[in-house]
Amino acid sequence: MGRISARGIGISGSHPEGNRPERLTNPHVQQKHVAMKFRPLTFSRRSDEEMRARAESLYEDLRTRRSVREFSADPIPLDVVRRCIASACSAPSGANKQPWTFVLVTDPEIKAKIKEAAEKEERDFYERRASEEWLRDLDPFGTGPSKPFLTTAPALIVVFAQRTGPADDGDEPARHYYVTESVGIAVGFLLTALHHAGFATLTHTPSPMRFLASLLGRPKNERAYMLIPVGFPASDCAVPNISKKTLEDVLVEY
Ligand SMILES: Cc1cc2nc3c(=O)[nH]c(=O)nc-3n(C[C@H](O)[C@H](O)[C@H](O)COP(=O)(O)O)c2cc1C
Nearest C-alpha neighbor of 235 from the set 70, 55, 112, 64: 70
Within 10 angstroms of residue 6's Cβ, the number of other Cβ atoms is 4
pLDDT at 30: 58
pLDDT at 218: 98
- Establish whether residue 146 lines the binding site of ligand 1, counting it when its CB lies within 6 angstroms of any ligand atom: no
| Ligand 1 atom at minimal distance to the Cα of residue 69 | 11
- Tell me the CA end-to-end span of the chain in Å, nearest whole number: 25
For ligand 1, the distance from its centroid to the CA atom of residue 195, given in whole angstroms, is 15
| pLDDT tens sequence across 36-84 | 799 999 999 999 999 999 999 999 999 999 999 999 999 999 999 999 9
Least confident of 55-64, 134-143, 188-197, 244-253: 134-143
Mean pLDDT for the stretch of residues 182-202: 98
| pLDDT tens sequence across 212-250 | 999 999 999 999 999 999 999 999 999 999 999 999 999
For ligand 1, the distance from its centroid to the CA atom of residue 69, given in whole angstroms, is 10
pLDDT at 205: 95
Q: Is the pLDDT of residue 112 over 90?
A: yes
Mean pLDDT for the stretch of residues 153-170: 92
- Establish whether residue 69 lines the binding site of ligand 1, counting it when its CB lies within 6 angstroms of any ligand atom: yes
Nearest C-alpha neighbor of 185 from the set 96, 56, 120, 66: 96
Quote the longest CA-to-CA distance of the chain: 69
The Cα 56–Cα 61 span in angstroms is 9
User: Which residue's alpha carbon is nearest to atom 29 within ligand 1?
Assistant: 203
Mean pLDDT for the stretch of residues 118-141: 91
pLDDT at 15: 45
**More confident: 48 or 167:** 48
Q: What percent of the chain clears pLDDT 90, i.e. is strictly above it?
A: 76
User: Which residue's alpha carbon is nearest to atom 9 within ligand 1?
Assistant: 204
For ligand 1, the distance from its centroid to the CA atom of residue 205, given in whole angstroms, is 8
Confidence band (pLDDT; 50, 70, 90) for 13? very low
- Establish whether residue 205 lines the binding site of ligand 1, counting it when its CB lies within 6 angstroms of any ligand atom: yes
User: Which residue's alpha carbon is nearest to atom 13 within ligand 1?
Assistant: 204
pLDDT at 44: 95
CA distances from 130 to 108, 120, 121, 221 (A): 30, 14, 11, 28
Within 10 angstroms of residue 204's Cβ, the number of other Cβ atoms is 21
Asked whether the bond before 154 is cis by omega within 30 degrees of 0, the reply is: no
Within 10 angstroms of residue 177's Cβ, the number of other Cβ atoms is 15
β-bridge pairing 155-162 and 222-231: antiparallel
pLDDT at 167: 76
Residues near 169 by Cβ (< 8 Å), separated by ≥ 6? none
The answer, as to whether pTM is greater than 0.85, is yes
Structural domains of the chain in order of their starting residue, each with its CATH number: 2-37 (no CATH), 67-238 (3.40.109.10)
Average pLDDT, the chain: 89
